[in-house]
Structure 1
């Protein structure tokens, strides 16, 4: 399993549309066999900062599986307007997790 972290800086006037876009885009993540879970979180001290955290079965599952699927085309159409607001988009491996 790998975790994709996408950090965004969203202007206040776009934040409601951004949240709505990810609510709709989440349907395409949920339908992917490669997506294990995802979450969208918003900064408390800096409410214009958002983090999207997506757990994938593997980097290959994300890059060659989801990104080459029809679901990705729909997903990307929804989030593409916010692409220029990305501060970071990388994959990470879990070291330790306590639940």
Structure 2
């Protein structure tokens, strides 16, 4: 069994902030991917529905917690407080096999 942690996030911005929300998350992709515990950090969009999604893979829970503590991650989350139409949905899971 591995400690690898997978994260899936659904981000639903207010229509007037879709571009702001998208640009904010895209701006931290390279920094996030450079973090020692980051295995995967991919941003996806369903532009027709106005939703953004994240697929993340981290070495372990500690690496994910460290990512959430980074100033650039916190800055995105602070902006999302005003830009989102519904609360950010973030699920974590582990691989069974």
Would the TM-score normalized by the shorter structure come out above 0.5?
A: yes
2:37 counterpart residue number: 34
How many residues are paired up? 91
Give 1:8-87 correspondences, 5 Å limit: 8-43=11-46, 45-46=48-49, 48-63=50-65, 65-68=66-69, 72-83=70-81, 85=84, 86-87=87-88
How far apart are residue 79 of structure 1 and its match?
3.8
Q: Are the counterparts in 2 of residues 40 and 53 from structure 1 also a CA contact under 8 Å?
A: yes
Which whole-Å CA distance do the structure 2 matches of 1:94 and 1:44 have between them?
29
Which whole-Å CA distance do the structure 1 matches of 2:48 and 2:96 have between them?
27
- Unaligned stretches of 5+ residues in structure 2: none
Which whole-Å CA distance do the structure 2 matches of 1:6 and 1:52 have between them?
5
- Unaligned stretches of 5+ residues in structure 1: none
Give the aligned CA root-mean-square deviation in angstroms. Answer: 2.1
Change (3 A) 1:92 1:83: farther
1:94 counterpart residue number: 95
Name the structure with the higher helix share.
1
Runs of 4+ in 1 over 4 A off after TM superposition: none
TM-score, length-normalised on structure 1? 0.75
Which whole-Å CA distance do the structure 2 matches of 1:44 and 1:13 have between them?
13
| Secondary structure class of the residue paired with 1:36 | strand
